[in-house]
Amino acid sequence: MAGHTDNAVVIDAPLDTVWKLTNDVASWPSLFSEYAEAEILERRGDTVRFRLALHPDENGTVWSWVSERTPDHEARTVRAHRVETGVFKYMSLFWEYTEVPGGVRMRWVQDFEMKPNAPADDAAMTERLNRNTRVQMDLIKQKVEAAAVAAAS
pLDDT tens track for 65-76: 999 999 999 999
pLDDT over 70 at 44, yes or no: yes
- What amino acid occupies position 43? R
In angstroms, rounded to a whole number, what is the distance separating the alpha carbons of residues 137 and 7? 9
Question: What is the gyration radius of the CA atoms in the chain, in angstroms?
Answer: 16
Residues linked to residue 71 through DSSP beta bridges, in sequence order: 78
Class for the domain spanning 3-34+71-152: alpha beta
**pLDDT confidence of residue 126:** 97
**pLDDT confidence of residue 1:** 67
pLDDT over 90 at 64, yes or no: yes
95: pLDDT confidence band, cut at 50, 70 and 90? very high
Residues linked to residue 114 through DSSP beta bridges, in sequence order: 88
pLDDT over 90 at 145, yes or no: yes
**pLDDT confidence of residue 135:** 97
Average pLDDT over residues 10-39: 97
Three-class SS of 63-81:
CEEEEEEEEECCCCEEEEE
**pLDDT confidence of residue 153:** 87
